[in-house]
Amino acid sequence: MAGLRDALDGALLLAPMTRGGNLPYRRLCVELGARVLMGEMTVARRLKQRRRGEYALIRRAPDEPFFGVQLAGTDADEMGWAAALAEERGADLVDINFGCPIDVFTRRGLGAALGRQPKRIRRIVEGVKRAVVRIPVTAKIRLGWNESSRNYLEQAQAAVDGGADALVVHGRTRDARYRQAADWDAIGELVAALPVPVVGNGDALFPADIEAARVRSGCAAVMAGRGALIKPWLFREAREGYWDLSAEDRLRIYRRYVDLAREHWGEDAHGLARVGEFVRWHLAFWCRYAPRRADGTWPGMQVREPMSFARSPLEALLARADHAALDWLARRLTAREEIVPTEAPAPDSAPDPQDDQAEG
């Protein structure tokens, strides 16, 4: 589809992420330059069961320029029904999840578990394609279940044979989760082999990473998951070049997220509790940001930078990954209170783990 190709051409996409792709965060990313955004992974069966929380996941923000709904499921007819619903509710595309690595989903045969069954991939894509009228259908895969079964070529061909208009490839196996660097050479193999656009996903944290991925693979577009959670201004960097933001600039961005979250979830006690929950969750990613190193090299996605880069007390505070600091910052941000580094509590625990984000 020409419209899809135009939307993807050279774009940086926000990945479909459980929790991470919440509506207020997508709005923040739009304000910071995002043009193609995916909502949180949505389970088709839960939509069919009329679960209110699942319906919230396919809601489009009014300012989203190009919004995709990602669906997970095992039944082709059920997935088709859910895709038609997403189209009716304003989605610009439907993406089918064949890549989520999280145990709670794969044990039920969802996500990456389907990557072991290329014939089912084709049937599900066919079912979704039959159900939608105007919008394109894409499929997201991983390279395989593990290193001994890297069947990405078979998965991709099955999706294309089923009618997929584009393919999104996370450059790791299911068993690798996020523990090793993405394989952009494998993504390049798919670019060369397929007649549809390929979007590559994995390890985009700085503009240099995005450019290197495009050059190495030849992909039509790049998708960012954890990179966009760590620094939502990555989308503007992709268009304008590296931003060396001060701690104060970053804090203003985080406060803007709070404003958008309060607008979305409300100002009553229940709404503010939800805001606080999500702010706390996002802080565990925001604290991982580090600027370009003094020697001109770039921090990587797989290893956290030491806090020695901090150029101010506030920057040192925002880099803290211990529970005490994250809890304190979440409370202060949610309540729109002043952040004074000297008032922050002393570290009381090991770093808060947040490296297994459910990227669909």
Q: Which residues are marked as active site? A: 100
Dihedral of CA atoms 314, 319, 321, 323 in degrees, nearest 10, equals 10
- 3-state class (DSSP) for residue 271: helix
Q: How far separated are the first and last CA of the chain, in Å rounded? A: 23
- The DSSP letter of residue 222 is E
- Report which of 148, 178, 210, 197 is spatially closest to residue 285, judged by C-alpha positions: 178
* Residue 142 near residue 101, CB atoms below 8 Å: yes
CA distance 227 to 88: 31
Going from the C-alpha of 74 to that of each of 79, 82, 115, 127, 356, the distances in angstroms are 7, 12, 11, 11, 23
CA distance 58 to 56: 6
At CA 50, angle to CA 46 and CA 51, rounded to 5? 60
CB atoms closer than 10 angstroms to residue 59:
13
Residue with tokens 């002393």: 346
Phi-psi region of 173 (alpha: psi -120 to 50; beta: other; left: phi over 0): beta
- 3-state class (DSSP) for residue 49: coil
DSSP H helix total and E strand total for the chain = 16, 9
- Report which of 80, 121, 82 is spatially closest to residue 99, judged by C-alpha positions: 121
Residue with tokens 């049937």: 123
CA distance 330 to 181: 31
Q: Which two tokens stand for residue 351?
A: 């770093």
